[in-house]
Amino acid sequence: MSRSARPRSVLVLFIAVLLAAPLLLPEFYVTLLNYIGLYAIVALGLVLLTGVGGLTSFGQAAFVGIGAYTTAYLTTVHGVSPWLTLPAGLLVTGVVALSLGLVTLRLSGHFLPLGTIAWGIALYYLFGNVSALGGHTGISGIPALQLFDLELRSGREFFYLIWAALLVIILATRNLLDSREGRAIRALKGGSLMAEAMGVDTPRSKIVIFTVAALYASMSGWLYAHLQRFINPTPFSLTQGIEYLFMAVVGGVSHVWGAIVGAGLITVLKQWLQDLLPSLLGKSGNFEMIVFGVLMILVLQRARDGVWPIVQRLFPAPPARARPVEAQALPRRPLPAPGAVLLDVREASKRFGGLVANDRMSFRVRAGEVMALIGPNGAGKSTMFDGISGVDPLTSGAVSFRGERIESLPARQIARRGMSRTFQHVRLLPAMTVLENVAIGTHLRGRKSFLAAACRADREEEARLLSEAAAQIERCGLAGQMYELAGSLPLGKQRIVEIARALAADPCLLLLDEPAAGLRYLEKQALAELLRRLRAEGIGILLVEHDMDFVMGLAHRVVVMEFGQKLAAGLPEEIQRNPAVVEAYLGGVE
């Protein structure tokens, strides 16, 4: 993500150029810029959807069409003011996008784009065949926009409206991505499972960005209708929808500014190719699509991030910032009294087809104790963790957490009740900083939503969340790495980031899956010290770990698993002398 790291002066310069452009440029270029602006608005939605959220849509042109047709129909047939048809168009688009999203977003990733292709075609034919919408001839005589006394008739006047709208939504999108909900959105691509375990409602985040992208498109359609004052189905076809995606990908699908770059490049290139190719080939037709197609394939093979990162290199970002300022501490969850039963697992079983990974496991974890779960590879320890934390629910059995049954709750509901975990295979977002990763842990401790984030009404809460995240990072001894990208840390440190993230959720029960793996001796000692302090505070810890020195020095009680069953349970020294355990680890053949 490219956020406020760039010097503000570049933005000011950019705006100055925009202000001057219509005054200095000939009509043709102003028109071109108008279209670039309109396309960039749609492409920006795709950046949010595809580059950030990891979803995609080929049907954005259809949403543009809904916006355009809504205003065209209402203004020409019913004489409604264009300023009222904008919200009307957004409403229609929102309803359509929501229902489409509810249907397809539950399915695995590729059904959404396929759905949007089908739906893009269906809507295109619908526009062309409904007589009330003018059929294939379309609707003409759409009134010009009226701003107080000024009628926006020329392209030059419209230019300011389009680019102001674009700048506003770019800033709003940037603000959104740099917030609590924004981090949740950025976790969708490659981190849904982790985000759910941190309490994020990922289906909701997906539907929100899908709807927002559709609304952007609809707005572009409204602007388009009043700029052209005439519409027909052609610009809302699937081909155009595909072109929007090309713009986003070529420009840089993970960067908000990439939308403008991509829209600009593709539009200018198209203009140029449409002049060049027919004379070169001696035939007329949309041959520029051949070039676009090949260009796309090359971009995806060679420079998946598009053009924007190259532009970005011209304006190097300033070095990492200082620690977030101390803000008022977040309220903390009252911890249960030491010794109180936090977690009670009874007869928990998990089957994968015919394979029994957990077989009637029972154990308890109390507040202020470290309970270790050990056993040979494949004994079912991580499966047990996934069952308890709701990441992969149990097949049968009961799990009570602080006296409440949780075995059938989804992970995010369990997280809300004060359980937090780390993962055996580290699940960080490698392209985000350590601070942002840990801040995802604070998700449930904030309330400000999308709208507040987009207009920056969330700053006070955001400061508190970041301050909390920073405090947890310092506590775990990673203060020096706060602004490094999580993916650049060694694996052992990444595990510590996972712990900091879990702690940022203010848990009363911590599930740690192999936290010491990959750590050096001194780092292990520091980790053990940290866990002892947490234990002393009254947090309960359930620990899976292979390093026996580490386990035996830290745990109050140990449960040994083998073949998914409980093999033994007891104090560390008892376990170490238990012949059955020695057999399980070393093997008992002859």
| Amino acid sitting at position 230 | F
Packing angle, helices 82-104 and 111-129, rounded to 10: 140
Quick one: tokens of 586? 């070393």
Quick one: tokens of 115? 């759905």
Stretch that binds other proteins, among 13-21, 177-185, 414-422, 484-492 (CB under 8 A): 484-492
Stretch that binds other proteins, among 20-28, 450-458, 534-542, 545-553 (CB under 8 A): 545-553
Q: Cite the DSSP H helix spans in 358-483.
A: 381-389, 411-416, 434-440, 450-454, 459-475
- Binding-site member from 290, 320, 329, 451 for other proteins (CB under 8 A): 290
DSSP 8-class letter at 132: G
Q: Cite the DSSP H helix spans in 542-578.
A: 548-554, 572-577
Calculate the CA dihedral of residues 57, 62, 63, 69 and round it to 10 degrees.
180
Q: Helix, strand or coil for residue 419?
A: strand
Under the binding rule (CB under 8 A), the answer on residue 279 touching other proteins is no
Q: Which is nearer to other proteins, 91 or 491 (CB)?
A: 491
Under the binding rule (CB under 8 A), the answer on residue 191 touching other proteins is yes
Under the binding rule (CB under 8 A), the answer on residue 304 touching other proteins is yes
Stretch that binds other proteins, among 83-91, 113-121, 262-270, 335-343 (CB under 8 A): 113-121
Under the binding rule (CB under 8 A), the answer on residue 485 touching other proteins is no
Q: Looking up tokens 């301050």, which residue turns up?
A: 467
- Binding-site member from 13, 95, 281, 479 for other proteins (CB under 8 A): 281
Q: Which is nearer to other proteins, 59 or 540 (CB)?
A: 59
Under the binding rule (CB under 8 A), the answer on residue 586 touching other proteins is yes
Nearest 5°: the CA angle 246, 251, 256 is 115
- Binding-site member from 293, 316, 339, 480 for other proteins (CB under 8 A): 293
**What part of residues 398-437 is at the interface with other proteins (CB under 8 A)?**
none
Query: Cα(198)–Cα(207) distance, rounded to whole angstroms?
Result: 19
- Binding-site member from 376, 395, 398, 448 for other proteins (CB under 8 A): 376
- Binding-site member from 297, 329, 571, 580 for other proteins (CB under 8 A): 297
Under the binding rule (CB under 8 A), the answer on residue 3 touching other proteins is no
Burial label, 578 (beta-carbon count in 10 A; 0-12, 13-18, 19+) = middle
Query: Cα(369)–Cα(557) distance, rounded to whole angstroms?
Result: 8
Q: Which is nearer to other proteins, 463 or 526 (CB)?
A: 526
In whole angstroms, the minimum distance from the beta carbon of 139 to other proteins comes to 18
- Size of site (CB under 8 A) for other proteins: 83
Q: Which is nearer to other proteins, 288 or 506 (CB)?
A: 288
In whole angstroms, the minimum distance from the beta carbon of 399 to other proteins comes to 18
**What part of residues 558-577 is at the interface with other proteins (CB under 8 A)?**
563, 576
In whole angstroms, the minimum distance from the beta carbon of 56 to other proteins comes to 6
- Binding-site member from 338, 477, 518, 570 for other proteins (CB under 8 A): 518
Site string for other proteins, 121-160 (x = CB under 8 A): xx--xx--x-------------------------------
- Binding-site member from 416, 546, 556, 566 for other proteins (CB under 8 A): 546
Query: Cα(448)–Cα(27) distance, rounded to whole angstroms?
Result: 44
**What part of residues 343-372 is at the interface with other proteins (CB under 8 A)?**
353-355
Stretch that binds other proteins, among 20-28, 190-198, 320-328, 457-465 (CB under 8 A): 190-198
**What part of residues 430-469 is at the interface with other proteins (CB under 8 A)?**
none
Report in angstroms the alpha-carbon separations of 32 from 29, 155, 202, 261, 266.
Answer: 5, 10, 39, 14, 11
Stretch that binds other proteins, among 77-85, 215-223, 324-332, 489-497 (CB under 8 A): 489-497
Long-range contacts: 376-382, Cβ < 8 Å, 24+? 376/562, 376/584, 376/585, 379/561, 379/562, 379/563, 379/564, 380/350, 380/561, 380/563, 380/564, 381/513, 381/544, 381/561, 382/424, 382/513, 382/544
Residues β-bridged to residue 557: 371
Site string for other proteins, 377-396 (x = CB under 8 A): xx------------------
Packing angle, helices 202-228 and 155-177, rounded to 10: 170
**Dihedrals phi, psi of 557, to nearest 5 degrees:** -135, 155
DSSP 296-336: HHHHHHH-TT-SHHHHHTTSPPPPPPPPPPP-PPPP-PPPP
**What part of residues 201-220 is at the interface with other proteins (CB under 8 A)?**
none
**What part of residues 66-105 is at the interface with other proteins (CB under 8 A)?**
100, 103-104
Under the binding rule (CB under 8 A), the answer on residue 491 touching other proteins is yes
